[in-house]
Amino acid sequence: MIALLSGLLAIPPLSTDVSLPALPSIAAAFSEDVSRAQLVVALFLVGFAVGQLGYGPASDRFGRRPVLLGSLGLYFVASVGCLVAPSLEWLAAARLLQGLGACGGPVIARAVVRDVYQPVTGARVLSLASLGMAAAPLIGAIAGGIVVLVFHWRGVFVVLAGFGALLMISAAWLLPETKLATPPTRFSLAALTRTYYAISTDRRFLGYTLTLAGGSIGLFAWLMGSPFVLMTLRGLPPHLYGLAFAAVNIGTVCGAMVSARLVVPFGIDRTVTIGLALYLAGATALAILLLSGFRHAAAVIVPMALFQFGNGMVMPNAVVGAMAPFPQAAGSASALAGFVQMATGALSGLVLGRLHDGSARPMTLLVAVSALSAALFFSLTTVPVRHRGRFPRLRQS
């Protein structure tokens, strides 16, 4: 089960990173500019971000299993559509549909954890399952390069279609229905609005979700800024950049492993606090080293690995903490938290582009803002709050 959850969480990073080495080949195949070919990444992320808001409530209403199988079926069909695309416009549209299918996996995987486990145990399980998500960028970038080299760009979508089919078969075989037995509710725009309003006004949900959003600022600043900082400014060739990127992501893997060990004896909040301390340590070290004029690539790689170590501890625990108050609407809570996290990360990328000045300062600034804001938002969860039944009233309606 943990392997299945890990695979579901790995869908978005694998789907994104395995396609990156194919962008030049896609542009050449359709006689387009590389900037136009980047639509295949951007539209996937748009579909992934927006689709979450529908899958969460749908899984609360109709059950985790049928909605998950439907989302994986859409992902598989869209992957085949990418494979046979006769034009860039077709490929971009298929990638949008692929993103809409991909987001069901992480949303429902997190909801399943909330259905089955108590919060502390759930945080441990999600930390273990997050190892797949953390390892996906390493596997995706390397596998994508090899596949493009041997089978050209269409081979990437053969791999993704096969991955989707494997997950769909595994989910059909392994995953029982885990949704709590609750009275049926209407599935309408008005009902969705009431549900999301009730979730978003819960103080602990806000604290944990904004903590996730704060961490996403630094994560996306690194993802989008690292090629320029390490290759253009630090002079790393592409193959060494890939190794540097892998080294930083190993920090995430190690953080998730440590989180799985610490969360049971320490609890969710103390584990998140340790992760936030690593955020601050990594951001501080990055700022000091770069502003002091250190030009070696290690001055970027080591602090960001420390930051990502903290990320591996913060993310699974904050996700479980955000869903904990809503056992009867875990899908909706998972979806809203995921949407806020993704939207904040995308905004971070836009801000990075606007602040670009030919130096590493914009990325460094956003990583610092990320650490400080995550720590500030987490303080919202440390004040005891009595839940006065706001959501149970919604449930009765």
Please tell me the predicted confidence (pLDDT) of residue 394.
Answer: 40
| Range 322-341 average pLDDT | 80
Give percent of the chain above pLDDT 90: 18
DSSP secondary structure letter of residue 387: -
Domain 1-179 identical in fold to domain 187-397 = yes
Rounded Cα–Cα distance for residues 153 and 83 (Å) = 9
- Residue 185's pLDDT band, with cuts at 50, 70 and 90, is low
Locus of tokens 């938290």: 337
- C-alpha–C-alpha distance, residues 269 and 381, integer Å: 8
Q: Alpha helices, DSSP H only, in the chain?
A: 2-17, 23-29, 34-37, 39-62, 64-83, 88-102, 104-116, 119-151, 154-174, 189-200, 203-226, 238-266, 268-291, 298-323, 330-355, 361-378, 390-396
> Where do the structural domains in the chain lie, given as residue ranges?
1-179, 187-397
Residue 386: its pLDDT value, please? Answer: 42
Type of residue at 388 = R
Looking at the predicted structure, is the pLDDT value of residue 266 above 90?
no
| The pLDDT of residue 305 | 93
As to burial, measured by CB atoms within 10 angstroms (0-12 exposed, 13-18 middle, 19+ buried), residue 379 is exposed
Mean pLDDT, the chain, rounded, equals 81
Least reliable range by pLDDT among 7-21, 101-115, 263-277, 313-327? 7-21
Compare 352 and 380 and report the one with higher pLDDT.
Answer: 352
> What are 216's two structure tokens?
């996403």
Residue with tokens 């996290």: 341
Confidence of residue 187 (pLDDT cuts 50, 70, 90): low
Q: Do 147 and 18 contact (CB within 8 A), yes or no? A: yes
Q: Look at residue 319 in the predicted model and tell me its pLDDT.
A: 85
Distance CA 135, CA 246 (A): 9
* Residue 384 Ramachandran class (φ > 0 left, ψ -120 to 50 alpha, else beta): beta
Q: HSE of 373 in the Cβ direction (CA atoms, 13 Å)?
A: 18
116-172, pLDDT tens digit by residue? 777 777 777 777 777 767 677 667 666 666 777 777 888 888 889 999 999 999 989
**Mean pLDDT value of segment 26-32:** 80
Note the pLDDT of residue 180. Answer: 67
The predicted structure's pLDDT at residue 306 = 94
| Poorest-pLDDT segment among 20-24, 337-341, 352-356 | 20-24
pLDDT score, position 221:
85
Q: Distance between CA atoms of 144 and 137, rounded to whole angstroms?
A: 10
Segment 265-290 shows an average pLDDT of: 91
Winning range, highest mean pLDDT, from 244-253, 284-293, 327-336 = 284-293
**Single pTM value for the model:** 0.75
Average pLDDT over residues 263-275: 88
Token digits for 293? 């004029």
CATH architecture designation of domain 1-179: Up-down Bundle (1.20)
CATH code of 187-397, in short, is: 1.20.1250.20
Return the SS3 of 110: helix
Q: Can you spell out the DSSP letters for 214-265?
A: HHHHHHHHHHHHHIIIIIIIS---HHHHHHHHHHHHHHHHHHHHHHHHHHHH
Check residue 186 and give its pLDDT: 58
